[in-house]
Structures are given as structure tokens and as C-alpha cells.
Amino acid sequence: MARCNNQEEILSAAIPLFSASGYAGVSMRDIARACHLNVGSLYHHFRDKQHLHLAAIQQAFTDRSAPLLEILDGTEPPLQRLTHMIDLFCHLLSKDQTFSRLIQRELLDADEVRLKFLADHVFGKFSNTLNSLCRELNPQFDPALLANSIIGMIIYLFQSAPLRKNLFGFREEHEQPEIISQHLQQLLCQGLNQPTSIRGIA
């Protein structure tokens, strides 16, 4: 990798490090080495490791959430927006293990300061938009719990893949994002008392 010349390039180099080793497992020296910089140059851009780490997560999520938000903010009927969002999210997690691990690391670390920042400045808009969609889908459900349940199911099915391969009933097709997406769409359509309108599902 070439020398990092700006904040964006530094964050791009730091994201896979934090994803692989977590906040505590990565030092400013590690990041400087990956960026081909001296440590002092990092402090010119970021005042400490925590600010660099939060900026890295913010960049990682912003880059990946933009197309998801575009779907949620669209003009399609609520059910179609939900199913299209699920499909895109499944393909995103399938292709981008770095992003999936980064989310898991933050949940496991459970640092209150970082989690509050993430809730306010990183995941907030996506969460609010999905909450609004859930309210449209079925007002009988608590929209916040429903939104968290949807995201939780999607993320868990990808993060638990190494374990699921060894559990009873596993088939190779269960690793395909299309199969996971269709399963979740059917499950949610039936749970929300919505007509199943997913291509390929009877």
C-alpha cells in the first residue's frame, strides 16, 4: 500500500485493522505502519486513537449505508422497500466481511462512550428511517423493536456462518445471500401479516 496522504486514506487503512483486532488490539503505531507514516503524522490528523477509531467506523458505515437509505427513503410501497433493503443488506454483508466484523467488534467491546457516539452520529439516520418504515408496515408492532429485530436477524445470519456450517440441517446453499434474503423476506412478510410478494417464493 502507498503512503497515505490524507484523512480518508488513513481511515481506509485503519478500518480493516480495527475490524480484525478490535479497538484495544490496534495501536496508533500499527495504523502508522499500515499508512507508511510516522506516528506523529497521525496525530496531525487525529488527536487520539479514539477519535481516529470513531471516524473510521463513521466512514465505513456511511459508505455502505447510502444505498440502503436510498431504498428506505424511496417511493415504493413499504413492503417493497423492506424486501429490497434486506436483499441489498444481505449482499453487502456477504461481500464485505470487514464491515460485518467491525459491527460485531463494537457490540462486543460495549464501550458506552463509543456506542453513544455511534447511536447519535453513525447509525441514527438509518435507524430512524427504518423505524418509520416499520411503523408504516404494521402499526401494531413497536417500530423500534421491529427495526432492531430485522437488522439483528440479518447480521446474525452472517456473523454465525462459521458455527452454522457445523450444525444439523446446514446446506451449502445457506451461505448464499439470495437464499438468506428470501428466507428473511418470507419470514417477515408472514410475521407482519403481509402478502408474500417475493420473486421465487410461493
Quick check: 146 pLDDT over 80?
yes
- pLDDT single digits (tens) 16-63: 999 889 888 999 999 999 999 999 989 999 999 989 998 998 888 887
Per the domain annotation, does 8 fall within a domain? no
Per the domain annotation, does 91 fall within a domain? yes
Quick check: 81 pLDDT over 90?
yes
Number of domains the chain contains: 1
Quick check: 170 pLDDT over 70?
yes
Least confident of 65-74, 148-157, 192-201: 192-201
Residue type, 161: A
What average pLDDT score do residues 107-131 get?
A: 85
Tracing cell 408472514 back to the chain, one arrives at 190
pLDDT at 33: 94
Per the domain annotation, does 31 fall within a domain? no
Q: How far apart, in whole angstroms, are the C-alpha atoms of residue 42 and residue 31?
A: 8
87-90, Cβ contacts within 8 angstroms, sequence gap of 24 or more: 87/177, 87/178, 87/181, 87/185, 89/151, 89/154, 90/154, 90/158, 90/177, 90/178, 90/180, 90/181, 90/184
Q: Which of 187, 163, 161, 155 is nearest to 173 (CA)?
A: 161
Residues 6+ apart with CB under 8 A from 125: 65, 69
Q: Which of 185, 138, 132, 115 is nearest to 157 (CA)?
A: 185
The pTM assigned to this predicted structure is 0.82
Range of the domain at 160: 57-191
Confidence band, pLDDT 50/70/90 cuts, at residue 194? low
Quick check: 180 pLDDT over 90?
yes
CB atoms within 10 A of CB 48: 10
Per the domain annotation, does 158 fall within a domain? yes
